[in-house]
Amino acid sequence: MSRLTDIKARINLLEGGAFQELCDALLSRKGYEEIHAYGMQAGTMKTTKGNPDTYFKSKNGKYIFVAYTTQKDDLFKKAKEDIEKCLNFEKTGIQEKDIEEIIFCHTSSNLSAGKDKELKDMCAEKGILFDIYGIDRIADEIYRNYKILAKDYLGMSIDTNQILEQRDFINRYDTNEMMAPLSTKFQFRKDEYEEMMSALH
């Protein structure tokens, strides 16, 4: 079994809350900020009823809504229903004009290109971006770019963990209480910082 296939198999074993937590971590690492896991009970793997399941705030102040499902059947119907819920002001309290993007994460592989386009067009009519993270894309992202997620969320090691992303290296380094933390803020040294960065470039 290839590593990629093994990652997909592990993802398929996750229940709803664990799948949401994995995807939240993936999206956060891809640059989405100010995460709010609205559809999960804090400190548990239990999901709650909420629309959307997670939301982020973009730098321009708009909202990015995320819906998750581990449902295998009627995926198009489920995605369409989740989009409609995200666009429903009574359920979210957010106007359509304040939504920048809707992301749909799922563990199925049976959404055709035509149905994918139909969902994108549905959002585009409202001026909203739509992106899909299926199990193939999620597994590929983990395998190629975020191997630490396989260890932290899937219980599998797919490399030697000697090369880490910057944030993971800092987090691990800072757990050693014998060393000065790398996460210490460099404050009140703006001129020196700019001089240092200029010299570095």
Structure tokens at 52: 């959307």
Give me the pLDDT at residue 190, please: 86
Provide the pLDDT for residue 164: 67
Q: Can you state the angle between helices 16-29 and 147-154, rounded to 10 degrees?
A: 160
| Residue 79: closest CA among 39, 118, 46 | 118
Residues 76-90: tens digit of each pLDDT? 999 999 999 999 999
The model's pTM is: 0.77
CB 58 within 8 A of CB 189: no
Is there a contact between 68 and 53 (Cβ–Cβ < 8 Å)? yes
What pLDDT score was predicted for residue 156? Answer: 87
List the chain residues with pLDDT less than 50.
none
Predicted pLDDT at 153: 92
The predicted structure's pLDDT at residue 45: 52
pLDDT at position 37 is 78
Q: What is the CA 170 to chain-centroid distance, rounded?
A: 20
Query: What integer pLDDT is reported at residue 141 of this predicted model?
Result: 95
* Residue whose structure tokens are 């896991």: 37
| pLDDT computed for residue 130 by the predictor | 97
In angstroms, the first-to-last Cα distance of the chain is 44
Q: How high is the pLDDT of residue 131? A: 96
Amino acid at 119: L
Residue of 139, 82, 148 lying closest to 107 (CA atoms): 139
Q: Which of 98, 96, 65 is nearest to 79 (CA)?
A: 65
